[in-house]
Amino acid sequence: MIAEIDGVSVRFGDRTALDDVSVRAPAGTVVALVGGDGAGKSTLLRTVVGELAPTTGTVRAPRKNHIGFLAAGPGSWAALTVRQNLEFVGGIYGLRGTELDRRCDELIGRAGLADAADRTASALSGGMRRKLGAAMAMLHRPELLVMDEPSTGVDPVSRIDLWRMISEAAAEGAAVLMSTTYLDEANAPGTWWSSTPDGF
Ligand SMILES: Nc1ncnc2c1ncn2[C@@H]1O[C@H](COP(=O)(O)OP(=O)(O)OP(=O)(O)O)[C@@H](O)[C@H]1O
């Protein structure tokens, strides 16, 4: 098991954002968390990556440099081009030279961003920018890929690119833990999902 969340509760003052949640993320699998606005999806994902500490319960996950995280929001640097954003992240994780070039080309292709590779992130549509953020999160082949609503604001054609990127990361062995508001994504073959009407 790549990540195990056991009986996790998170409270902000007297507000309970998560109440006794348990989720497991096995290697090679996409686990989709479904819930309405405010259900606690972002809180759970931020707890898994170590940005928030659980009030009670335990989180077991790989060390930080084996996690890829696409947070809510743009997820890339506006002033850098698509390729520069990917190269920068690759550099942080120690990828260099042809290995880095190949990996960038591969993800630019999977994201359908070949024609936009030299455009700055600020000049991309919201959906293209989300796909770039996804590519940046998976560039270093993390054991655990955590994505907060990767497909929100992404058009139907780009959603197919995005879904292919996520499936291929799982096929390469990653455990993917993502939130989504789209039930079709949560029901895609090979995806486990987890939700209750009141959140998790
Ligand atoms: N830092 C914080 N301080 C206080 N309350 C918070 C904080 N972060 C989240 N919450 C509250 O916790 C609950 C869960 O929020 P969270 O952002 O995890 O939901 P979500 O399922 O991701 O929803 P959305 O899709 O709207 O982002 C909400 O009621 C929210 O107001």
β-strand partners of 68: 145
Q: Hey, which of 34, 42, 48 would you mutate to test ligand 1's pocket, going by the most ligand atoms within 8 Å of its Cβ?
A: 42
Predicted local distance difference test score (pLDDT) of residue 192: 59
| Integer CA distances (angstroms), 156 to 51, 82, 108, 136, 160, in order | 31, 21, 18, 21, 7
For residue 37, pLDDT over 90 is answered with no
- Measure 40 CA to ligand 1 centroid, in angstroms: 5
**What are phi and psi for residue 8, nearest 5 degrees?**
-85, 130
In a 3-state reduction of DSSP, which class is residue 198? Answer: coil
Spatial distance between the Cα atoms of 69 and 91, rounded to a whole number of angstroms: 16
For residue 185, what is the enclosing H or E element?
helix 183-186
Is 105 within 8 Å of 118 (Cβ atoms)?
no
pLDDT digits (tens, 9 = 90+) for 54-92: 999 999 999 999 999 999 888 899 999 999 999 999 999
For residue 69, what is the enclosing H or E element?
strand 67-70
Place of tokens 């409270």: 11
Spatial distance between the Cα atoms of 188 and 36, rounded to a whole number of angstroms: 19
Cβ neighbours of 164 (radius 10 Å):
13
Q: What is the ipTM of this complex?
A: 0.91
| Integer CA distances (angstroms), 161 to 14, 29, 157, 187, in order | 41, 18, 7, 17
Residues 6+ apart with CB under 8 A from 46: 52, 71
pLDDT digits (tens, 9 = 90+) for 123-171: 999 999 999 999 999 999 999 999 999 988 888 888 989 999 999 999 9
Q: Beta strands 67-70 and 144-147: pairing type?
A: parallel
Ligand 1 pocket list (CB less than 6 A): 12, 15, 17, 35, 37-43
Predicted local distance difference test score (pLDDT) of residue 199: 47
Q: Hey, which of 41, 151, 180 would you mutate to test ligand 1's pocket, going by the most ligand atoms within 8 Å of its Cβ?
A: 41
User: Helix (H) and strand (E) counts for the chain?
Assistant: 6, 8
DSSP letter at 122?
Answer: G
Predicted local distance difference test score (pLDDT) of residue 193: 56
CATH of 3-194, one of 3.40.50.300, 1.10.10.10, 3.40.250.10, 1.25.40.340: 3.40.50.300
For residue 196, pLDDT over 50 is answered with no
Predicted local distance difference test score (pLDDT) of residue 195: 52
- Measure 81 CA to ligand 1 centroid, in angstroms: 32
For residue 108, pLDDT over 50 is answered with yes
Nearest residue (by CA) to ligand 1, atom 1, is 12
**Domain extents for the chain?**
3-194
pLDDT digits (tens, 9 = 90+) for 2-29: 999 999 999 999 999 999 999 999 999 9
- Measure 171 CA to ligand 1 centroid, in angstroms: 31
Predicted local distance difference test score (pLDDT) of residue 144: 98
Predicted local distance difference test score (pLDDT) of residue 200: 46
Nearest residue (by CA) to ligand 1, atom 16, is 40
